[in-house]
Structures are given as structure tokens and as C-alpha cells.
Structure 1
Amino acid sequence: MISTWIAAAVLIIAAIVLLAVRRRAERDIAVSARGAVITGSTPVASTAAPDAAAALASAESVGSAMIQAGYTVETVQDVLRDIAHVNGLPESEVLVFPNAVLVSARGAGQRETGAVAGAGGQLLLSQIDELQRTADAARTGILDPRSTVERVQRIRQITPSYGPLLRVIAYGLLSAALSVLLGASWAGVSVSAVLGLVVGGGLLVSERVPRRYGALITVAIAFLVAVVVFALIRLGWGSGILGALLGPLVVLLPGALLTTAVLELSTGHMLSGAGRAAAGAMQLVLLGAGIVTAGTVVGVPDFDFSRNPDLLGPIAQWIAVAVFGVAICVHRSAPRRAIPWILLVVYVAYAAQVLAGLVVGGILSAFVGALVVTPVTALVARQPSGPAALVSFTPAFALLVPGALGLVSVADMLGGDSAGTASLVATLATMVAIALGVLAGSSLSNRMRRPAL
């Protein structure tokens, strides 16, 4: 009951704040494009002759960075078509995949065709924020193609705002906070924090390892975490430490990838949607394999992931939401000015899901959470200090995606547990619910888009 009242209060306060900022003027793209990190912009001259080669280079540069950032293929296509149109090439064609972009810049008797593969690795939240500003400026003619390419190159050179040690500590706190939300005991929170430090350090080291070893790293991390947790359970620590099994693996869980796959499949992008779904499923299999192997080594006692809910009390969960929000901002290196906005979005997501869960149940509560959060992120993005919608949505998404449930399902199935099938079906239903929530929320977000310049 206390948690319900807190959730209601959070939504009321958030509504007041959002209504207040709603009255502010539209963000001036020309001003925001000249940020402190990356400077310099050259407007597209309306009288200049179209340059298909330059426009192609601009579209390839922006498109490659956007697919690396995790934008949907439909969003990338819209941006690249706008870039071609504003540069006098309205006949251009764009084909986007999760890891490649094909562009044919055509118009005014010119034709240039090119393809570029998406770079590996994960962009920082600060890089995604600057990328969104650059894409907005390029698609509205504020940046000419050459300036756009230069800015994207500089974005790729942005370094984390926080040092490696602080990012590792943040990951430990992130892991501990998530374990609180999963119903862990104090012992479980402590174990999760320690394992989070180990995993966080390992993830930073793995950024310098060739991608072909990524599968081995994933299995090794899942195995290490599961061995420690299972061993402690067998030593009598109790099921209150189960949250430590999933908390340290939060970054490796492919819930966002799987939900984006469902979103793209539902909007007709079959190739990209199927590709993301296959990649997400393989990531779950790798994580599940690590957990099952650990269970084989040390043995797995009977346990239930739904046991001991609210073990630390309802107040602890709301504190954990704040810790989670700040920690993920530090670990993913979000812009400092964006942290208050990200916390607002994270609290709205969690509060909406808590209240919806009381009325419509767990699966539909994910739909409501996505439905509420999507327009909120769009409104936040319009504020002068607000981050790009994807930047504020990413941390909130970690509280909505069914990655944890999917991981448990795969682990059950690999271990021969038929109950995993029911959990897997619930995972798929939750992914569909989130995707539909995002689609419905996007219809409201479209009304908040800044007018084209």
C-alpha cells in the first residue's frame, strides 16, 4: 500500500513538472547544435547546386553512427531521407539494416551510391546525445554535408566523462540497486554490489578485446556470477541473494534488443527485426548456458525468483530507483545536465508500472509503462537542458524490458525444466506489450516534435 501511494505521488509530481516545462519555448536547434563538446556549423545554402557525393558521405556517416547507437531502422531511414531532401536530392533511396546502411543519393541529374557497415561497440549516452543534435541539424539544413561528417567523426572521439574506476563503482551500485528491485535481502544486495564491481571491471576490459571473443566473455561472466550465487545459496545464505544473480548481468541482458526486434517486426521491417531477434535470442542462450554450466558444477537448490518480494520494504525500492538512475548515467557516461531529466523519466517509468501492475497485471503493466514513458522522453528532449529521447529512454527501458525473465526462461529450458516454456511465452508477451506501448506512445510523441526549419 505504501508503495502504491508513493507511485501515485511520483506521477503527480512528475505531471506538475512536465506541465510546467511544457510551457517553455521550443529548443533552438541552431543553438543546441553549437555545444561545448563539438562546435562549428555551416548552413546548407539554398542556392547551392546539389552535391550527391557530399550528401552521400553525410548520410553514410550519420546512418552508421545511428545504427551503432541503437536507433530503429525506421528512425534512421527518416533521418537520412530528410538529409538527402534538404540537400536537394529528393529522389534518394535509403535501405537500413541493424549493422549496415545502403544509400543511393539521386537528384538533379546526379547519382551516387554507397554502403557502410555499422561500427562495433556501444556508444556512450553523451555520444548519443550529441549524435541526435547533429542529426537534427543535418536533416533541417543547419549543417552542410561536410560539417556533418566532421561532427560525427568528433562524436566518435568523445571520451567518457568519468574515469574507469568511477564507472566500475557505478556499475557495482547499479547492480546492487537492481537487486533491491528484484527483492534481494541485504546480503543479496552486498553480494550483488561486489559481483557488479567484478563484472563492471571485466566489461571495461572487454571493450579492448576483439568482438569475436564476445560470446566467450558473455558465457564466462554469466558462469562466474552464477557459481558465486549458487554456492552461497548452498552454504545457507538463503534465497534472498537471488537478486545478485541477475543484477550484475543487467548490461548483458538483451531485453532492449528483443523488444526493438518486436517493434520492427510489427512495423514491417522483417529483415532487421528478424536479425535483432536472432541476435537477442543467441545472447540469452549464451547467458543461460553460463548459468546452467555453473549449476552443473556447484548444484542448484530449488528456488523461486518470485520469493521474498519487497524484502527490504517499499521505501528501499524507491531509493534504489534513484541509485539505479544515477549509477547507469555514470557508467554509460550521460551528460551531467541530463541526469535530473533521466531520473525523472526513470521514476515515471517505475511508478507507472507499479500502479498499472495493481490493475492490469505484470504483462500489461509493461505496456502502460512504455506508453507513458515514450511521450515523456519526447517532452524532455524539447527542453534546453534535456537529453535526446533515446538517452533518457535507455535507463528507463532497463526497468521495463523482460530480459531478466527471458534469461530465467532460457536457463530453465537448457536445464530441462519444462516450466521454462511458460516463462518464455510470458517473456514474448511482455516484449509485444512494450513494443505496442512504444508505438502508442509514439503517436503522442509525434505531436511534440519541433517544427522543421
Structure 2
Amino acid sequence: MATDTQSGLQIEKDDSSKPEVGFVLSLGRALHTYGYPAHRLEEMMGRMSVRFGLQGQFFSTPTSIFASFGAQDDQRTYLMRVTPGEVNLGKLTELDDVIIGVLRYATSPETGSLRIEKIVTDPPRYGNLLMTIAFGLASASASRFLGGGLKEVVVSALIGIFIGLLSILTGRFPAVGGVFEPLAAFSASALAAGMSFVIGPYAVSNSMLGGLIVLMPGLTLTVAMIELSTQHLSSGTARLSKAFVVFLGMGFGVALANSLIKTVLGDPRIAKIAPMPSWTMFAAMILMPLSLTIILRAHKRDAIWIVISGILAVAGSRIGANLLGPEIGVFLGALIVGIAGSIYSRYLDHPSIVTQVPGILMLVPGSVGFRGLAALLDEKVVSGIDTTFKMILTAVALVAGTLIAGIIAPSRREA
């Protein structure tokens, strides 16, 4: 008998007689926790089953994994309830090393299971101070990408730091996690509006969006669209619903903060953006990927490749925007990031997801969707619908670029 750490229930555990089954289940849970999408997760568990000579069928959703082993008339089925975690590129890289070792017959399933257990229990790669600074730098860079000036960038950085501290607090008090996004949106909107009475008029909405950019569910939306496109309908639909709920929660937080600020202080003092030198855009193109390296907990050795991926994403989307328009232009950025990730995987023997996720985060349509929701909440129905449609178009273009990149330049391995 053993205790399931998630549910606390006593369950029968006979995987000791079949270490291969135990390894596949442990690997699936770990990959799911650290950000693997459904199509890659099920494929990887299937490859491992083939490697061990097992007949396996797998089905995953954002909160569970079903795994069946054996012939159709003599199957043993496992259900694992998995709490969705945050993307952790460093641990995904370490899990990939285990996968390659097993596939190449260099690592036994027993040893692989022990290595997975160690990876899962290892402490966080970066400390709270560095994570908080990374949130601030990411928000400041996002504000600059959105056309912000000096005031907007500084306020965005302050909001990002506050949200970073709030995320640390959420980790210590899990009960806060259920309202984290609305609370963060409320705080960002209140700080952005309140600062206009302290530092003078500026573009409040720019700072608010920049401060919230890390929390936008754009990556969730993109992964959901990819899962739907690859016929993983249950997982894709569930993930799409999650993105929608997060958007609504953040929209509510912003609306509540706006009403409170107007009641207490009056309308925010708004002014046009004062342009910044062009070199600051290049600085943001470097700082944003570096910040994402820390936020996504990637290995330090991968920082340079993540920066290159981020630069390619921004440059590709800008060129694509000039040729095809701002929404469709994202297609070219995603295509370039996908191909670059495949090259990285082939020649450096690391999983392509390490560079692809940060690159996609530089392109995701989260801020566009949030603007549409904000317009709808402000009773600007036509503008809100138009902006929301642009978000959907951007997401589709991003998914198309990612999938086509996988056809043009497939990774040496899908890991």
C-alpha cells in the first residue's frame, strides 16, 4: 500500500513488479506538471510504452491523465489527478535527458524513476529576489514593446515587481491562488491609475497592460488552439475555457479598480506617450527574453539561445506585419521561432520547447484579447468585438506558423 500525495488516499501500488509501467506514469505526471501540451504528452508516453514493449493507450486533460496498459480484453487502467503547474523549462530539460537515456538503452526504468523523483523534488532554480526583479524587467520591456515612454516603462516595472511579490505570497498561501489573476489585475489597474496623481499625466493603459503581460493567458490560449488543431479536443476545449475564465477574472479586477479609483480620486490623469530613443527597443528585445529565462526557470546555459529566439520572434513579426498586416504577421514570427527551435534541438541535443515557449510568449495574443475585453466592459461593443476577433486571428496565425514549422524543420525528437 502507498499514499497518493495529491489525494491522501491509500491505494494499491503494484508497479514494483512492472517498473516500466511505473516509469511511464511518473514521466507522464512530471511532464504534465511542467507544461507539456496534450499532443506531445500522449505521444511521449506512447513512445516509452513502445520502447518497453507495452501496449499502452493514453488520454490527458489539463487536470488528469488516463493510462491503460495491456491488450484490449485484459487492460489495467490508471487515473492520475494532476494539478496544472507552471512551465518549468529547466526541469523539462532534465526530464528530456532522462527520456533520451531510456530511449537509448543507457538508463533503466528503475534508475529513470529515481531521477524523475529527484528532479521533481529539487528546490526552485532561482530565488524570490531574482524572480521579482525578472517580473519587473519583463513588464518594463513589454511596456516598451507596446510603445511606452519613460513614465510608462517605470510604472510598468513597479507593477511587475508588485505582481512578482504577490506571486510569491500566493505560493505560501495556496488559498490566494484561486483569486490571483483578479487580485493582480485589480492591483495593477489601481497602481497604474493612482500613479497618474503622483508623477503626473501619462498613458495609464500602457503601464497597466505592460504590468500584467506576464499573467496574460496568451500561451494558454495558443496551446489550446494547437491541441484543438491536432484533434485533442477535450484538452484543447478545457484549456480554452481556462483562458477565457482568466480573461474574465482579470477584466473584473480592472473594472473594480477603475470604479474605485474614480470614486476616491477621480478620473486618472492621462497624457500622450513621450517617445523614447529607438535603442531602447533593442534593449527591451534583450531584457524580455532574459527575464523569461528566469520566470520560466530555464537553465542559465540556455539564456543566450532564448534571447536569440526572442529577437527572431520580434524581428519576424515586425517584418511579417509590414508584409501581411499586424495580425497575420505573427505567422512569420511563429514560423521562424519554430524552425529555430528545431535547429536548436537537432544540434545542441536539447528539447525544442526551451526556445519555442519564450519565443511564442513574445508573440502571444494575450494583450490583444485583454484590450478587447476591456473595451466590452467599457461598453464599447463594436471596438471590443473587433479587437477580440483580432485576438482570435492572431492566435490562429500563431498556431499555423508553429505547426508548419514542425513540418518544414521537424525536431530531431519531439521532446
Report the TM-score when normalising by structure 2: 0.88
In structure 2, the partner of 1:362 is 326
1:222 Cα deviation after fit: 0.7
In structure 1, the partner of 2:23 is 58
**Which ranges of structure 2 fall in alignment gaps of 5 or more residues?**
1-14
* 1:401 maps to 2:364: yes
Residue 417 of structure 1, aligned match among 363, 380, 394: 380
1:111 Cα deviation after fit: 4.5
| Distance verdict in 2 for CA 1:348–1:136, change over 3 Å | same
Once residues 149 and 19 of structure 2 are traced to their aligned partners in structure 1, the CA distance between those partners, rounded to angstroms, is 58
Q: 1:175–1:193: 8 Å Cα contact kept in structure 2?
A: yes
Letter matched to residue 23 of structure 2: S
In structure 2, the partner of 1:182 is 146
In structure 1, the partner of 2:186 is 223
* Secondary structure class of the residue paired with 1:383: helix
Q: 1:255–1:403: 8 Å Cα contact kept in structure 2?
A: yes
**Which ranges of structure 1 fall in alignment gaps of 5 or more residues?**
1-49
Per-residue CA deviation, residues 260-285 of structure 1 (Å, 9 max, x unaligned), is 11111122111111000000000011
* Secondary structure class of the residue paired with 2:328: helix
Superposed, 1:269-418 pairs within 5 Å as 269-299=232-262, 308=273, 311-384=275-348, 387-418=350-381
Per-residue CA deviation, residues 398-430 of structure 1 (Å, 9 max, x unaligned), is 211000111121122223221211111111111
Once residues 215 and 187 of structure 1 are traced to their aligned partners in structure 2, the CA distance between those partners, rounded to angstroms, is 32
In structure 2, the partner of 1:157 is 121
| Number of equivalences | 396
Once residues 338 and 49 of structure 2 are traced to their aligned partners in structure 1, the CA distance between those partners, rounded to angstroms, is 27
1:146 Cα deviation after fit: 1.7
Once residues 451 and 125 of structure 1 are traced to their aligned partners in structure 2, the CA distance between those partners, rounded to angstroms, is 15
Once residues 323 and 230 of structure 2 are traced to their aligned partners in structure 1, the CA distance between those partners, rounded to angstroms, is 29
1:109 Cα deviation after fit: 10
Letter matched to residue 321 of structure 1: M
Letter matched to residue 61 of structure 1: S
My pick for the range that moved more, 173-182 or 407-416, is 407-416
Once residues 393 and 190 of structure 2 are traced to their aligned partners in structure 1, the CA distance between those partners, rounded to angstroms, is 30
Per-residue CA deviation, residues 283-338 of structure 1 (Å, 9 max, x unaligned), is 0111111111111112366979xx75x92233211111101111221233321111
| Distance verdict in 2 for CA 1:433–1:130, change over 3 Å | same
* Secondary structure class of the residue paired with 2:66: strand
Q: 1:338–1:387: 8 Å Cα contact kept in structure 2?
A: no
My pick for the range that moved more, 63-72 or 119-128, is 119-128
Percentage of pairs with the same residue: 24
In structure 2, the partner of 1:143 is 107
1:196 Cα deviation after fit: 1.4
Per-residue CA deviation, residues 10-48 of structure 1 (Å, 9 max, x unaligned), is xxxxxxxxxxxxxxxxxxxxxxxxxxxxxxxxxxxxxxx
Higher relative contact order, chain-length normalized (CA < 8 Å, sep 6+): 1
My pick for the range that moved more, 230-239 or 120-129, is 230-239
Report the TM-score when normalising by structure 1: 0.81
Per-residue CA deviation, residues 197-226 of structure 1 (Å, 9 max, x unaligned), is 11111112212222x532322211111110
Letter matched to residue 353 of structure 1: S
Once residues 339 and 245 of structure 1 are traced to their aligned partners in structure 2, the CA distance between those partners, rounded to angstroms, is 27
Residue 247 of structure 1, aligned match among 207, 210, 227: 210
